[in-house]
Amino acid sequence: MRQTKRKLRPRTPFRPTGGRGARTTVAALIVRCLKAEGVTTVYLVPGGPIMPLIEALFLAGGLRVVMAKHEAGAAFMADGHQRVAGGIGVCVTTAGPGATNALTAVASSWREGIPILVISGQPGLSAFGKEPTQDSSCLGVDTVELFRRVTKQSVLLTSPERTGDVLRGLIRTALAPKMGPVHLSIPADLLKRQIVGRVFPPARYRAESRSVDLAAIEEAARLLVQAKRVVILAGSGVRRSGASKELRALAELLGAPVATSGKAKGIFGEQNPLSLQVFGFAGSPRADEVFFDKETDTILVIGSTLGELTSHAW
């Protein structure tokens, strides 16, 4: 029986959604992604392994670059910037001691739930295992592993083509509840690598808000309505959530006095007649008086983990 040969049609190349990417370098794509994220300021200390990224920051324009005297200072500034401006703070360091110098500040951000992105340098991939200067790989001082203890995620970039995906994933992780710092380590020889990169709107990769337990909210509302005297203790979670207006509206609706933790000072105007100022360590005597009053039968805690200082040592 005679067999007929089928003509094979050429496969249509797979094109991911979001349009074709432009040819660029790894460093330039990182800068484009940061700008799309709304980043306005980058805090850094320069060094050889990370210089291609720093050059890309200056060439791109539109970003304020602040050079610190020490990497801990750069990371603390990124932390402070995020607390004031929101979004994600960004800190850039070189390899080895540049990265380890930032650890104390990053640990503080981890403890406080502050989303910052730390980008550190590495010797080139081709130098791994050859004892390069400032070896930060798994064969030297493993900075990726060190940062895992004080970040939500710490990643070594090994595939230039995945730069955008890795960076977006880290930002998504940093900004998802509970927020916190993330770390990206980039080998020096990858930063100038030519790739095809695309930039997406942040809404495309943001984590969705957690679902609300309506039954729990209804139960809380019932308790508040039935209470004889409600007082509110607001923590720094209110600030991170941008919920100061909602806090004020709830307090005025209930006619409930409001105290804040020390870290949350300022989220409820202290000129407001309902303000008790700060409760806890070094707090207001007036707040202590109201919270410990026998007439107070319900305390509503919002955005606080009730740590030692906030809770008067539990």
pLDDT value, residue 129: 67
Q: What pLDDT was estimated at residue 6? A: 45
Q: What is the mean pLDDT of residues 209-225?
A: 87
Q: Is 246 a residue whose pLDDT tops 70?
A: yes
Mean pLDDT of the chain: 90
Instruction: Inform me whether the pLDDT recorded for 3 exceeds 60.
Output: no
Provide the percentage of residues in the chain whose pLDDT is more than 70: 90
pTM of the model: 0.79
What does the pLDDT read at residue 91? 98
Structural domains in the chain, CATH included, are 22-204 (3.40.50.970), 214-302 (3.40.50.1220)
pLDDT of residue 77: 99
Q: What is the pLDDT of residues 266-276, one digit of tens each?
A: 999 999 999 99
- What value does the mean pLDDT take over residues 62-70? 97
3-state secondary structure string, the chain? CCCCCCCCCCCCCCCCCCCCCEEEEHHHHHHHHHHHCCCCEEEECCCHHHHHHHHHHHHHCCCEEEECCCHHHHHHHHHHHHHHHCCCEEEEECCCHHHHHCHHHHHHHHHHCCCEEEEEEECCHHHCCCCCCCCCCCCCCCHHHHHHCCCCEEEECCCHHHHHHHHHHHHHHHHCCCCCCEEEEEEHHHHCCEEEECCCCHHHCCCCCCCCCHHHHHHHHHHHHHCCCEEEEECHHHHHCCCHHHHHHHHHHHCCCEEECCCCCCCCCCCCCCEEEECCCCCCHHHHHHHCCCCCCEEEEECCCCCCCCCCCC
What pLDDT is recorded for position 302? 96
Q: What is the mean pLDDT of residues 71-81?
A: 98
- 89-147 pLDDT, tens per residue? 999 999 999 999 999 999 999 999 999 999 999 987 776 766 777 677 767 789 999 99
pLDDT score of 212 more than 80 = no
Residue 130 pLDDT: 64
> In the predicted model, what is the mean pLDDT of residues 275-291?
95
Q: Output the pLDDT for position 221.
A: 94
Between residues 203 and 164, the one the model is more confident about: 164
6-30 residue pLDDT tens: 444 444 443 443 445 678 999 999 9
Specify the higher pLDDT residue, 128 or 87: 87
The pLDDT of residue 257 is 97
